């Protein structure tokens, strides 16, 4: 290990000027008590005097030389330029007692080194890994997904930034650092095959004996096993030429290891799936069978498989820090600059109703055209260059086969992704787990998901389920994603005539913005349906309301209907909104209108007298009678007409075609 090449940057702001050094040379510089870097001394003085967040302290820290223990790079020290792994995975452990943490790490057979961080309140440690498993940043992130939960079982929490292969750490000084160049590579395949899903637990006897600290397998659900298999096969399909043999070997080993831990996986069926996958990426049959046979045999050598489950006596971890420290380790302080760089600009994803980086919910009744409108707005944003098609994922889980095919053709034409329930291994029930995986792998940034419809992904009548699902969406958005959610309204209107959302309040409460779509003109007479988006909650410069019209006939081709979608102007919108309000009023007071018509027909025309008699005969309030008079004037009802009389009196007369009952 001591001869492995790693990378040094003398200037943090010059990632294009890396230098290569051997591991032993760098660790000696950190350990030698008489060779303290002058810049490090200055930083430690400022840290002790002013604290870590002071401008002078931060500036001094950023002047320190940086080390990348991951390996070497082609040119710039960035994820995409990674060249060769050193066989070291650096972990950064903050806000801990360095001495006890180094002692804990020294008991692991996989620890190459552990030293105190420059600030004196953390530890940097190198875990030995198989360098052949790391060829790019995605491989490194997969390694992080295994190491992070494993270390959590030892009550060791590492900085999430460790998942990047370009991860740098500043030079430090620790004469008491731990070094073991004979450290064993960690068993990645055992870790990967059985992810740790339980609360952090420690096994002291295992640690002290310097044997494997992997937790024994519990049982895995069939859904979990299906997802792991699909993910592995998808990874294999997307592997570039040149890495396919290596990835096929990893996939075979991982899946056979998983099969040993679960009762839901049929080995013969798995064998068939692997053969088909291998042929699909261009491997020949002899290579495939030899690799599968080798992987099947090799998994028995995994330290995971050799463990006797009865030897694991799980005990709750003894806390090493006080309650204050437990909160401090989750603090975001120091991450503002990084988060600001990743913050999404206020770019509209859909028309003027949905912004990047938000959860936007669109409620509408069934068949109103919400999918049509959302697809049209999405396509317009892609063609206008506001968003990239490849970043958008439309989850179409409420459609028939014909509808799915039509929309899939649109997705293929405009470059966005189309997913559907029970196709390509995807299930709507996997959504929470899938999103969490996207978040954990730091792939949420810039991604746009459209859920059609929400009821397929969570139980909207169950407060706990809907709340938990919205928490996942919130986490996805806080990591740079965007969520557009389509949902349904209640069948019955509120007392004010407006539509209300179906389900518990959690979805609306936990969204950034939500709209309700209502029909202004159903198009039965005009042939053109008009609907209005009404904003009920917003964060950002979204419109309060906007209307769209499109061809209403069910006989019209879907693409023709899509192309007919038009935004309604403000003046026309005002007229249509008035029309809509009157329609709502007509529905509410349908039993009052005949009474008012009869009063007017009897010869009472002055507004005040009409109101008094109508209040007496119906028991309605003055306000309601006034609204009835307003709604019944002009379209869509045309029950009566209003004119100005003497001394500004408001007079109401029935249209000539009205006849009282019995006349």
pLDDT digits (tens, 9 = 90+) for 266-299: 777 788 788 888 888 888 877 888 888 877 776 5
Residue 128 inside a domain? The answer is yes
Residue 497 inside a domain? The answer is yes
Residue 206 inside a domain? The answer is no
Do 620 and 639 lie in one domain? The reply is yes
Q: Indicate which CATH number applies to the domain containing 603.
A: 1.10.10
Mean pLDDT of 540-566: 90
pLDDT-based confidence at residue 649 (cuts at 50, 70, 90): confident
Do 266 and 165 lie in one domain? The reply is no
- What domain range includes position 535? 342-578
**73-116 pLDDT, tens per residue?**
988 888 888 899 999 999 999 888 999 999 989 988 899 999 99
Do 376 and 524 lie in one domain? The reply is yes
Do 486 and 563 lie in one domain? The reply is yes
Do 421 and 490 lie in one domain? The reply is yes
pTM of full prediction above 0.85: no
Domain end: 558, 578, 598, which one? 578
Do 418 and 458 lie in one domain? The reply is yes
End-to-end CA distance of the chain: 106
Do 296 and 359 lie in one domain? The reply is no
Do 599 and 647 lie in one domain? The reply is yes
In this structure, is the dihedral angle defined by the CA atoms of residues 443, 449, 453 and 454, taken in order, positive or negative? positive
Do 426 and 550 lie in one domain? The reply is yes
Domain end: 578, 600, 620, which one? 578
Residue 610 and residue 600 in contact, taking contact as beta carbons nearer than 8 Å:
yes
What CA–CA distances, in Å, run from 302 to 192, 257, 296, 325, 574? 12, 8, 11, 37, 71
Residue 209 inside a domain? The answer is no
Domain end: 256, 284, 317, which one? 317
Q: Indicate which CATH number applies to the domain containing 519.
A: 3.40.50.300
Residue 324 inside a domain? The answer is no
- Which residue in 210, 145, 139 sits closest to 180, CA to CA? 210
Mean pLDDT of 520-524: 83
Do 556 and 600 lie in one domain? The reply is no
Residue 583 inside a domain? The answer is no
Q: Give the rounded distance of the alpha carbon of 410 from its chain centre.
A: 24
Domain count, the chain: 4
Burial (CB count within 10 angstroms: exposed 0-12, middle 13-18, buried 19+), residue 569: exposed
Do 264 and 407 lie in one domain? The reply is no
The answer to which of 21-35, 213-227, 330-344, 485-499 has the lowest mean pLDDT is: 213-227
Residue 659 inside a domain? The answer is no
Do 62 and 172 lie in one domain? The reply is yes
Residue 323 inside a domain? The answer is no
Statement: residue 215 has pLDDT above 60: no
DSSP for 154-188 reads TT----GGGGSTT--EE----TT-EE-TTPPPP-H
């Amino acid at each position: 290990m001591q001869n492995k090449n790693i990378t040094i940057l003398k200037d943090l702001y010059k990632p294009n000027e890396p230098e290569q050094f051997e591991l032993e040379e760098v660790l000696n510089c950190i350990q030698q008590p008489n060779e303290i870097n002058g810049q490090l001394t200055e930083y430690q003085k400022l840290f002790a005097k002013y604290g870590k967040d002071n401008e002078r302290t931060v500036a001094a820290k950023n002047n320190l030389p940086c080390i990348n223990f991951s390996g070497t790079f082609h040119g710039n020290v960035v994820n995409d330029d990674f060249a060769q792994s050193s066989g070291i995975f650096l972990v950064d452990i903050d806000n801990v007692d360095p001495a006890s943490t180094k002692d804990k790490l020294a008991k692991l057979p996989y620890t190459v080194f552990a030293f105190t961080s420059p600030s004196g309140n953390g530890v940097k440690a190198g875990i030995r890994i198989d360098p052949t498993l790391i060829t790019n940043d995605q491989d490194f992130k997969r390694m992080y997904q295994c190491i992070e939960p494993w270390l959590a079982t030892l009550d060791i929490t590492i900085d999430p930034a460790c998942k990047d292969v370009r991860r740098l750490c500043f030079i430090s000084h620790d004469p008491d650092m731990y070094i073991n160049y004979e450290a064993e590579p960690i068993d990645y395949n055992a870790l990967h095959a059985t992810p740790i899903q339980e609360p952090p637990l420690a096994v002291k006897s295992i640690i002290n004996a310097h044997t494997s600290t992997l937790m024994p397998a519990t049982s895995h659900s069939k859904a979990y096993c299906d997802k792991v298999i699909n993910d592995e096969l998808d990874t294999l399909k997307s592997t570039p030429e040149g890495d396919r043999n290596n990835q096929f070997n990893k996939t075979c080993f991982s899946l056979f290891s998983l099969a040993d831990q679960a009762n839901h996986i049929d080995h013969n069926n798995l064998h068939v799936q692997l053969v088909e996958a291998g042929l699909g990426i261009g491997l020949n049959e002899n290579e495939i069978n030899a690799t599968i046979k080798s992987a099947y045999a090799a998994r028995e050598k995994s330290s995971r498989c050799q463990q006797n489950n009865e030897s694991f006596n799980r005990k709750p971890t003894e806390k090493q820090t006080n309650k204050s420290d437990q909160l401090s380790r989750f603090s975001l302080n120091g991450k503002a600059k990084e988060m600001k760089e990743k913050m999404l600009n206020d770019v509209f994803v859909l028309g003027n109703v949905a912004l990047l980086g938000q959860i936007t919910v669109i409620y509408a009744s069934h068949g109103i055209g919400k999918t049509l409108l959302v697809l049209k707005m999405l396509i317009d944003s892609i063609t206008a260059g506001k968003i990239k098609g490849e970043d958008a994922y439309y989850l179409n889980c409420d459609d028939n086969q014909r509808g799915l095919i039509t929309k899939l053709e649109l997705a293929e034409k405009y470059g966005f992704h189309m997913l559907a329930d029970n196709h390509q291994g995807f299930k709507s029930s996997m959504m929470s787990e899938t999103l969490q995986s996207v978040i954990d792998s730091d792939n949420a940034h810039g991604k746009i998901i459209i859920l059609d419809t929400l009821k397929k992904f969570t139980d909207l009548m169950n407060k706990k389920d809907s709340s938990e699902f919205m928490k996942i969406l919130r986490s996805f958005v806080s990591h740079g994603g965007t969520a557009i959610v389509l949902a349904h309204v209640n069948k019955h209107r509120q007392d004010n005539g407006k539509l209300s959302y179906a389900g518990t309040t959690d979805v609306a409460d936990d969204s950034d913005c939500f709209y309700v779509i209502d029909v202004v003109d159903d198009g039965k007479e005009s042939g053109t349906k008009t609907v209005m988006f009404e904003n009920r909650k917003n964060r950002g410069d979204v419109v309060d309301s906007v209307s769209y019209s499109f061809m209403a006939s069910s006989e019209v081709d879907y693409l023709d209907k899509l192309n007919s979608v038009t935004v309604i102007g403000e003046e026309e919108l005002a007229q249509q909104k008035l029309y809509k309000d009157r329609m709502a009023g007509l529905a509410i007071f349908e039993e009052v209108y005949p009474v008012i018509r009869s009063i007017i027909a009897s010869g009472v025309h002055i507004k005040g007298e009409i109101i008094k008699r109508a209040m007496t005969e119906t028991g309605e309030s003055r306000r309601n009678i006034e609204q009835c008079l307003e709604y019944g004037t002009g379209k869509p009802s045309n029950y009566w007409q209003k004119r100005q009389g003497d001394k500004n009196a408001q007079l109401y007369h029935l249209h000539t075609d009205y006849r009282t009952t019995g006349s």
